[in-house]
Structure 1
Amino acid sequence: MAFSNNLEPSSPPLVFTVHRKEPELVAPATPTPHEIKQLSDIDAQSGIHVNIPVIQFYSNDPSNEGKDPVKTIRDALSRALVPYYPLAGRVREGSGGKLLVDCNEEGVMFIEADADVTLEQFGELKSPFPCFEELLYEAPGSEGVINSPILLIQVTRLKCGGFSFALSFNHTMTDGGGVILFMYTLAQIAAGHEPSLPPPVWRRELLIARDPPQVTQSHHEYEQLTDTSNVVPTDFTQHSFFFGPAQIDTIRRLLPNHISQSSSTFEVLTSYIWRCRTKALQLDPEEDVRMLCVTNTRDKFNPPLPVGYYGNCFALAAAVTTAGKLTTEPLEYALDLIKNAIGKINDEYMHSLADLMVTKGFPLFTIVNSILVLDTTEAGFRDVDFGWGKALYGGIAKAGAGAFPSVNFHVPYKNSEGVEGILVLVSLPSPIMKIFAKELDDMLN
């Protein structure tokens, strides 16, 4: 079954103009504590010293005639920052690589904007979005993660009466599971409701290294390797690949029935993507390759972490093999590696990881021949409702992250034919992307 994921645009790229007002800092609506809070040793790792962009698109709601989404969200933002007051502070560098938050009410950066474009002109709302840098403008002073606003938000009114809500969050402060808690709180206030979620919980000391540190687990995701290829691609490109129920079923038929039935869609799809990507890269068969699966570990602790915990609480489950084995063994080989890697993540693994961070100086995860994947299909970004209904598109805005472009995201998506499925946001060197797209089809044929 072909995937019909044509890499060539069928029409000229959409170009539009965005008029922005000067960025402003929005502080908590009422006074909040001025204090220094320590981030966890999971928060401080080098690989997440990046800002992650999220974007939501909303259609016009006639019942909201005369209601301005910019004012509504800005007012709600100042109120949401009262319980989430550390987000209005600034991340500072402490001693020994540790990070702190200066809770000083300095505020998050907010941008009001208008665009001369309609939702219909976008066609299918999917990454990469045209003129994305206009919908989430990186204002001077918002770059980086140290001494910068922890959140950057831009609300852009569209010509059709709809709007976009774009947010960039400092990953050292929170992860996807944490930022969605804040976004739901913000949206409920904007919609005129009292927040129904559990209040935010700091408790970063729960993920501080033990004294003395005890690294008890194997952490293949942080092994420091040397890239022997001597080739550093710089021309990375991004593309989205849609996998509907028909495509997922076709991939499942590549597996023995009992394995297919006992495996999640994420595991099956990730195995398939990993295998196709490795074939496209045409690596030496003896080269090690890694699939790093971002795993939410909030429920892996005994007892589980508090529901309102919004710090980084994830592990990178690392499946490791050689390029030769991955591309020649049946698909269930890759699937088994991924399931075993995810299955090893537990309470002790996370404490061992925190201990590794402090003993190794908060290392970057392995980037040589690695691909990192995050599943956001159950995160709930599309359900964020500011009073204009659910988002037409909601979630991570683009593939890649910081200095590590080989990051893929799984995003829930309904295509132009009304089919619900998964959009996989992929980042690859431009020549490899074409080979990868062909591999997706060839492997099924």
Structure 2
Amino acid sequence: MCDENGDFSVSVTNEEVVAAVLPMQEHWLPLSNLDLLLPPLDVGVFFCYNNPILTSTTMEDCATHKITFGTMVGSLKKALAQTLISYYVFAGEVVLNSMGEPEVLCNNRGVDFLEAEADVELKNLNFYNPDQSIEGKFVPKKKNACVLAVQATVLKCGGIIVACTFDHRIADAYSTNMFLVSWAAMANPNTTILAATSGHPCFRRSLLSPRRPGFIRPSQHHMYTSISDLPPPPATDATALLSRIYYVTAEQLRHMQSLAATRTKLECFCAFLWKMVAHAASRDTYSKRATAKMGIVIDGRKRLGNGDKESEAMMECYFGNVLSIPFGVKLVEQLVKEPLGYVVEAVHEFLAAAATEEHFLGLIDWVEAKRPIPGVSRIYCNRADEGPAFVVSSGQRFPVEKVDFGWGKAVFASYHFPWGGEAGYVMPMPSPLGNGDWVVYMHLAEKHLDIIETEAAHSLAATRTKLECFCAFLWKMVAHAASRDTYSKRATAKMGIVIDGRKRLGNGDKESEAMMECYFGNVLSIPFGVKLVEQLVKEPLGYVVEAVHEFLAAAATEEHFLGLIDWVEAKRPIPGVSRIYCNRADEGPAFVVSSGQRFPVEKVDFGWGKAVFASYHFPWGGEAGYVMPMPSPLGNGDWVVYMHLAEKHLDIIETEAAHVFKPLTWDYLNQ
């Protein structure tokens, strides 16, 4: 069982300072203009390892190398002392210069190294709630002037947790990742000396020098502000943020990306999260004009290489902050109402504008023009009464597989950044399983986490069928079109789905199943759902998928079809009809989806080859629309979708969902 309440103790058994093994000339290292954009923030990262005796290849290895916590700690310290020769900045201290700006005094003061023991087993740690299981226990508190602190903790099971806390003003995650990989390589006896010492960091601040004269675009003023221009903090207490760690499966990520196929997984993930946070905010007492802000951290190393191989090589190993945080601002109401594809495009738009060399050069110039007054990203200065704000920092280059100190790869690792501001923080990282899943650290308001855990637990709808997800998406699109009409607030949108009763009426009897399989005639029912247009627009896709599944599951039974047969018998000779076909236009839109996935387009070959295209055609003339998805004749898993809908509904589908529904052309059929 997990220790859900964090009810265990961690005791520090030893503390010492580890300095670089070679002496160095004391000197000052100035911070770059991009470093100066960071306020004093400490960032934590931790790696969890199984008991090395259980993970070693043979018991002889353990006996030969005498693997104990003491030997592991000794190996960590020795390798750290060697690694600090190259990464000497981590052994220094942060001091203020004559302008009041922070600099690093590279004096080989050393790194505080704590040894500890915890009376808990690794399998019992509640990683989901790091506030209880990690904070204040395994991640060390860094002394003010120091740049880095390390803690190694042995667990009751013999496992070990190695954790670091570093000053964000001195290093970004990219820089720290370089250090961690070098440290692990130096400690690992299976790594050659050449490999362990091959990655030298670059501290050349001239790579980020301002231009003369500088050139600042208006967008820089929009994204950043001087500390002196900030309003006084509100008198009320800030909303407490909580830390949680989740995992998102590769299948869910692919499904999310399929809703905006031309964009990256990160853009789609961020858009989905933006909608979720806005959905939570829509339940608060914000005004109609309340906004939700989302920033995404981007790395400027590749942008500043400018195509020059030498510059690219230096920027690739540059140590320091090379970050910017572009962000988007949208009305909460709009983020809730618009489909995911729209929000993905909004994310792509503000990201693309900042992912350029000119943006980073302008940002360097902006800081230079403001010095010595510190600048800060505006999204970090968000006030709670303005609506929610959070920042996503991609940890996809988090080197969880490479941080092997010689006793095996980490079974789990994560950054830990409960930074204490008003804005939330999210970091998606690769799963240590190496299967394409993501581990996601979130530091958000409790009400936002609640919505994510309830609404988004099924929002990706990975447990439902493609047809259910397709129908739910279409239902939202038609409701979205209807929301622009003059219907009343109580207007509804109805959707029916045709289901076949042959398998349901077989009742497990092989003979009955065989007869029903070749039965000629109608064995259909049309269950349907009715939802308020306003609700279909507002709720996330996952909610609508579950509504579809619910009304389908209720009718996909033998009892439903037997009861339907009895109902017709009771009404004869008066004909009966599905209520959804009797929908009136003033009630709101209605349509029926009939799955054509068994449409035998490949089998209808009269001797002159397979059909290059085939489709049902059913312009039936009623008030309700009709949709039939069929397999593409290309046989590649695509669908061909026949739609018979109102023009205004088709217009919305073709504009808002153009990334999903594409006009069928001869070029498509002949690709």
Q: TM-score, normalised by structure 1?
A: 0.87
Q: Secondary structure at the match of 1:132?
A: coil
Describe the superposition over 1:47-72 as per-residue Cα deviations: whole angstroms up to 9, x where unpaired.
Answer: 44211000000112234632321111
1:306 aligned to 2:297?
Answer: no
Supply the distance in 2 between the matched residues of 1:279 and 1:431 (Cα, whole angstroms): 10
1:89 aligned to 2:92?
Answer: yes
> Is contact 1:293–1:317 with CA below 8 Å preserved after alignment?
yes
1:277 aligned to 2:277?
Answer: yes
C-alpha displacement of 1:406 = 0.9
Describe the superposition over 1:143-168 as per-residue Cα deviations: whole angstroms up to 9, x where unpaired.
Answer: 44xxx111010011122222000000
C-alpha displacement of 1:281 = 1.7
Distance change (3 Å), C-alpha of 1:110 and 1:252: same
Supply the distance in 1 between the matched residues of 2:202 and 2:39 (Cα, whole angstroms): 21
C-alpha displacement of 1:36 = 1.0
Q: In the alignment, which residue of structure 1 is the partner of 2:186?
A: 189
Distance change (3 Å), C-alpha of 1:123 and 1:53: closer
Q: In the alignment, which residue of structure 2 is the partner of 1:363?
A: 375
> Is contact 1:202–1:310 with CA below 8 Å preserved after alignment?
yes
Supply the distance in 1 between the matched residues of 2:140 and 2:223 (Cα, whole angstroms): 33
> Is contact 2:425–2:444 with CA below 8 Å preserved after alignment?
no
Q: How many residues were matched structurally?
A: 422
Q: In the alignment, which residue of structure 2 is the partner of 1:237?
A: 242
Q: What is the letter of the counterpart of residue 376 of structure 2?
A: L
> Is contact 1:69–1:163 with CA below 8 Å preserved after alignment?
no
> Is contact 1:39–1:101 with CA below 8 Å preserved after alignment?
yes
Supply the distance in 2 between the matched residues of 1:431 and 1:241 (Cα, whole angstroms): 16
> Is contact 1:26–1:108 with CA below 8 Å preserved after alignment?
yes
Q: In the alignment, which residue of structure 1 is the partner of 2:23?
A: 31
Distance change (3 Å), C-alpha of 1:153 and 1:226: same
Supply the distance in 2 between the matched residues of 1:118 and 1:12 (Cα, whole angstroms): 13
1:98 aligned to 2:101?
Answer: yes
Q: In the alignment, which residue of structure 1 is the partner of 2:208?
A: 207
Q: In the alignment, which residue of structure 1 is the partner of 2:363?
A: 353
C-alpha displacement of 1:133 = 1.1
Q: In the alignment, which residue of structure 1 is the partner of 2:453?
A: 437
Distance change (3 Å), C-alpha of 1:111 and 1:99: same
Supply the distance in 2 between the matched residues of 1:173 and 1:284 (Cα, whole angstroms): 40
C-alpha displacement of 1:375 = 1.2
Supply the distance in 2 between the matched residues of 1:132 and 1:395 (Cα, whole angstroms): 12
Supply the distance in 1 between the matched residues of 2:134 and 2:178 (Cα, whole angstroms): 28
Which shows bigger deviation, 310-319 or 217-226?
Answer: 217-226
Kindly report which structure 2 residues correspond to 1:328-339, keeping only aligned pairs within 5 A, or say none.
Answer: 328-339=337-348
Match of 1:135 among 118, 135, 138: 138
Distance change (3 Å), C-alpha of 1:419 and 1:306: closer
Mind listing any 5+ residue stretches in structure 2 that lack a counterpart?
Answer: 383-387, 460-538, 544-671
Supply the distance in 2 between the matched residues of 1:340 and 1:371 (Cα, whole angstroms): 18
Q: Secondary structure at the match of 2:17?
A: strand
Q: Secondary structure at the match of 1:110?
A: strand
> Is contact 1:16–1:131 with CA below 8 Å preserved after alignment?
no
Q: In the alignment, which residue of structure 2 is the partner of 1:263?
A: 263
Supply the distance in 2 between the matched residues of 1:161 and 1:135 (Cα, whole angstroms): 15
Supply the distance in 2 between the matched residues of 1:159 and 1:334 (Cα, whole angstroms): 47
1:173 aligned to 2:170?
Answer: yes
Supply the distance in 2 between the matched residues of 1:346 and 1:78 (Cα, whole angstroms): 38
> Is contact 1:41–1:354 with CA below 8 Å preserved after alignment?
yes
1:17 aligned to 2:9?
Answer: yes
Distance change (3 Å), C-alpha of 1:439 and 1:229: farther
1:57 aligned to 2:57?
Answer: no
C-alpha displacement of 1:115 = 1.7
> Is contact 1:221–1:317 with CA below 8 Å preserved after alignment?
yes
Supply the distance in 2 between the matched residues of 1:210 and 1:98 (Cα, whole angstroms): 20
Which shows bigger deviation, 328-337 or 90-99?
Answer: 90-99
Q: In the alignment, which residue of structure 1 is the partner of 2:399?
A: 380
Q: In the alignment, which residue of structure 2 is the partner of 1:428?
A: 444
> Is contact 2:20–2:82 with CA below 8 Å preserved after alignment?
yes
Which shows bigger deviation, 243-252 or 168-177?
Answer: 243-252
Supply the distance in 1 between the matched residues of 2:440 and 2:132 (Cα, whole angstroms): 14
> Is contact 1:178–1:309 with CA below 8 Å preserved after alignment?
yes
Supply the distance in 2 between the matched residues of 1:292 and 1:27 (Cα, whole angstroms): 37
C-alpha displacement of 1:353 = 0.7
Kindly report which structure 2 residues correspond to 1:101-140, keeping only aligned pairs within 5 A, or say none.
Answer: 101-122=104-125, 127-128=130-131, 130-138=133-141
Supply the distance in 1 between the matched residues of 2:187 and 2:407 (Cα, whole angstroms): 10
Q: TM-score, normalised by structure 2?
A: 0.59
Distance change (3 Å), C-alpha of 1:191 and 1:237: same
C-alpha displacement of 1:381 = 3.0
**Higher helix fraction (1 or 2):** 2
Which shows bigger deviation, 10-19 or 355-364?
Answer: 10-19
Match of 1:397 among 416, 419, 425: 416
Which structure is richer in relative contact order (CA contacts within 8 A, separation 6 or more)?
1
Supply the distance in 1 between the matched residues of 2:336 and 2:98 (Cα, whole angstroms): 45
C-alpha displacement of 1:229 = 9.0
> Is contact 1:126–1:393 with CA below 8 Å preserved after alignment?
no
C-alpha displacement of 1:198 = 2.5
C-alpha displacement of 1:204 = 1.7
Supply the distance in 2 between the matched residues of 1:176 and 1:306 (Cα, whole angstroms): 15
Larger Rg: 2
Supply the distance in 2 between the matched residues of 1:435 and 1:269 (Cα, whole angstroms): 16
Supply the distance in 1 between the matched residues of 2:270 and 2:92 (Cα, whole angstroms): 37
Supply the distance in 2 between the matched residues of 1:130 and 1:73 (Cα, whole angstroms): 23
Mind listing any 5+ residue stretches in structure 1 that lack a counterpart?
Answer: 1-8
Q: In the alignment, which residue of structure 2 is the partner of 1:6?
A: none
| Root mean square deviation, CA, Å | 2.7
Supply the distance in 1 between the matched residues of 2:268 and 2:87 (Cα, whole angstroms): 37
Q: In the alignment, which residue of structure 2 is the partner of 1:159?
A: 156
Describe the superposition over 1:200-250 as per-residue Cα deviations: whole angstroms up to 9, x where unpaired.
Answer: 110122223334432135133325776999765333222233211232244
Supply the distance in 2 between the matched residues of 1:226 and 1:36 (Cα, whole angstroms): 34
1:408 aligned to 2:400?
Answer: no
Describe the superposition over 1:242-263 as per-residue Cα deviations: whole angstroms up to 9, x where unpaired.
Answer: 211232244335x2xxxx2221
> Is contact 1:233–1:429 with CA below 8 Å preserved after alignment?
no
Q: Secondary structure at the match of 1:263?
A: coil
